[in-house]
Amino acid sequence: MDYKSAGVDIDAGNAFVEAIKPAVKRALRDEVLGSIGSFSGAFRLPMGYAKPVLLGATDGVGTKLRLAIDSGILGGVGVDLVAMCVNDLICNRGEPLFFLDYYATGKLNVNEAKQVVEGIAAGCVEAKCALIGGETAEMPGMYQGRDFDLAGFAVGIAEEDEITNPPIVKAGDILIALPSSGLHSNGFSLARKLFLEKLNMKFSDKFAESDLINTLLTPTKIYVKNFKKNRAKIKALAHITGGGLLENLPRSLNANVNAVIEKSAIRASEVFEVIKKHIAEEEAYRVFNMGAGMIWIADKADAESLARAAGGVIAGELVAGEKKVILR
């Protein structure tokens, strides 16, 4: 007997490593030491921080993978994987430094896995973080057919004083909604049930300016560059992921304020208009981003200029309260 007869192809794994080297090479930073193929990735800490603190974030892309696998459109979920991690880091004012991925499957398809990693590398380039390593696990008996799973891990850096202080927001501060590119990577169990079962739609059905499957698989927007360009005027940030506006925005509030959201101010794409027709409002705003992929909180004097610079919209304000979100 040999390993291949048990379902694990070492040669395919080696071929995969060779296939992804060009993509990984594009996703580097000057601080990266060594190259792909070592036992671990090495990264020199950047200079210029008085009291540097490392931040870590990990995530996956949920059942969006089911749609990607079934449709064969695989590159976008790699971008999603990076986005879900680095967008969390910047909410703690962290600059993403490097990223690692975990790809697990029953039988390694080199071409399909390569598409996923190329998406991961593209996400890293957009986030200006380095792809310094990963793990590809071929596990027959754990996954069936073409199924695979993804996890991502991002490390960033911030000044200790910036992350240990409580939010400095106050009543009168303004909420700026940065538009999402679509569903991003949350709520897909409900979205699949709605579009594919209740509405009985097909992947190829015309939807918005595209078709249903490409609309649903639109990659998550990465907000890192926008944050770094405007960080001086941002008082607090909230990444709107699982839990939606109702559960994520309070994480960036003080205990004595409420966030009042003007729903009509947020630019909602067609996918959210359909969701509004079939899902109760509170449930929709707890599951999906509803058009706002990230919320920034800013001083009233800075809000208009900051919204213009970031491509966002004024979506509400903070009032005295108890750390709740009020939809209006």
Q: Report the pLDDT value the prediction gives residue 185, as an integer from 0 to 100.
A: 95
Amino acid making up residue 169: V
Burial of 282 (0-12, 13-18, 19+ CB in 10 A): exposed
Burial of 96 (0-12, 13-18, 19+ CB in 10 A): buried
Q: Report the pLDDT value the prediction gives residue 38, as an integer from 0 to 100.
A: 75
Residue partners of 244: CB distance under 8 A and separation at least 6: 186, 284, 285, 286, 287, 288, 289, 290
Are 146 and 111 a contacting pair, CB within 8 Å? Answer: no
**Coil vs helix vs strand at 259:** strand
Torsion of CA 287, 311, 87, 166, to 10 degrees: -90
CATH topology classification for 174-327: Phosphoribosyl-aminoimidazole Synthetase; Chain A, domain 2 (3.90.650)
Angle, helices 10-26 vs 110-127, to 10°: value is: 20
DSSP state of 254: -
How far, in Å, CA of 6 to CA of 100, rounded? Answer: 28
Q: Which helix (H) or strand (E) holds 86?
A: helix 75-91
Q: Report the pLDDT value the prediction gives residue 85, as an integer from 0 to 100.
A: 98
Return per-residue pLDDT of the chain as tens, 328 residues. 776 777 777 777 778 777 787 877 888 888 888 777 778 888 889 999 999 999 999 999 999 999 999 999 999 999 999 999 999 999 999 999 999 999 999 999 999 999 999 999 999 999 999 999 999 999 998 998 899 999 999 999 999 988 867 678 999 999 999 999 999 999 999 999 999 999 999 999 999 889 999 999 999 999 999 999 999 999 999 999 999 999 999 999 988 999 999 999 998 889 999 999 999 999 999 999 999 999 999 999 999 999 999 999 999 999 999 999 999 9
Q: Report the pLDDT value the prediction gives residue 30, as an integer from 0 to 100.
A: 87
Amino acid making up residue 260: V
How far, in Å, CA of 83 to CA of 80, rounded? Answer: 5
- Kindly report the CATH number that applies to the domain delimited by 4-164: 3.30.1330.10
Strands 236-239, 313-320: pairing kind: unpaired
Other C-beta atoms lying within 10 Å of the C-beta of residue 273: 11
According to CATH, where is 3.90.650.10 located in the chain?
Answer: 174-327
Q: Report the pLDDT value the prediction gives residue 23, as an integer from 0 to 100.
A: 79
The DSSP annotation for 157-198 comes to EEEHHHHHSPP---TT-EEEEEEPSSSTTS-HHHHHIIIIII
According to CATH, where is 3.30.1330.10 located in the chain?
Answer: 4-164
